[in-house]
Structure 1
Amino acid sequence: MKILIIEDEFLIAEGVSLTLQSAGHAVTGIAEDLPTALALAGQEKPDMAFVDIKLANGSNGLDVARALKAMGIACVFATGNPPNKAQAGGVGLGYIAKPFSPRVLVQTAAFVAGVLSPGAPSAAAPHGFVTL
């Protein structure tokens, strides 16, 4: 699966990228703000994105997720500031709260792959994933 990472903390973004690549996913890029996320999403449309809520340069992950959803890209928030349904219902599939384990990250990507591929074997939502 092609995955875009929207995270402004370099070490976290690199760790997420390496974990996902080790699990066989293609990381299409890392963005730290809304303009960069939209540019990367337009270059090589990912299947999904992991989106932090608080981003660089005053960007907000909820705005990023709304823009990506309009492009047909599924989003999961990966954040220390979990959104509530009133904020993010209908924008993101759910969230995993920081700090999350590599296992939860990989299992969440597998779960989303199942959601996006009707007829494919679906994985159960991992422990730590909260549906919005």
Structure 2
Amino acid sequence: MLILVVEDEPICALSTVAELEQAGHETLGPAATLEEGLELARNGHPTLALIDIDLMHAGDGVELAKRLRELHIAAVFVSAQHPAAFQNQDLALGFIGKPYNPSDLPPSIEVISAILEGKTPPEASLPGALHLFH
């Protein structure tokens, strides 16, 4: 799966990209701003975007999720901003709360991938860091 990573913390962004690529996914980014995320999405056409809500401490991740939805790109919030994620759950498939164990990322993507394919993942298989919004 081609996954856009939008994260403004460099170490977290590189760790996310490394985990995803090690699990066999292709990545776009990381992008650190709303504008960079939109440009990568428009040019790269990812299947999924992992979005930090509080980009550059401006909360632009919510706006990015809105714009990506218009481009038919699914989003998952990856953020420590738990209240903002739940208040905007209509914009994303789910939420991975920071801090999370990096090893939870690949199984979380497997669950999201199943949802995008129209399958229902068994509740028992949900990684602890992943909260679905449906």
TM beyond 0.5: yes
Name the SS of the counterpart of 2:95 in structure 1: strand
Contact 1:33–1:57 at 8 Å: present in 2 too? no
Identical-residue share of aligned pairs (%): 30
The answer to whether residue 109 in structure 2 is matched with residue 109 in structure 1 is: yes
Closer, same or farther: CA 54–110 of 1 in aligned 2, 3 Å: same
Per the alignment, residue 130 of structure 2 pairs with 129
Per the alignment, residue 18 of structure 1 pairs with 18
* Unpaired stretches in structure 2, ≥5 consecutive residues: none
The answer to whether residue 41 in structure 2 is matched with residue 41 in structure 1 is: yes
Contact 2:53–2:85 at 8 Å: present in 1 too? no
Work out the number of aligned pairs and report it: 130
Name the SS of the counterpart of 2:90 in structure 1: coil
* Unpaired stretches in structure 1, ≥5 consecutive residues: none
Normalized per residue, which structure has more helix?
2
CA distance in 2, matches of 1:57, 1:96: 18
TM-score where L is the length of structure 2: 0.88
CA distance in 2, matches of 1:7, 1:84: 15
Name the SS of the counterpart of 2:113 in structure 1: helix
Deviations 1:25-81 (A, max 9, x none): 000221111111000001111010110011127351110111111111111111111
CA distance in 2, matches of 1:84, 1:34: 16
Moved over 6 A (4+): none
Q: How does 1:48-87 map to 2 (within 5 A)?
A: 48-56=48-56, 58=58, 60-82=60-82, 83-85=84-86, 87=87
TM-score where L is the length of structure 1: 0.90
CA distance in 1, matches of 2:49, 2:68: 8
Name the SS of the counterpart of 1:3 in structure 2: strand
CA distance in 1, matches of 2:94, 2:117: 17
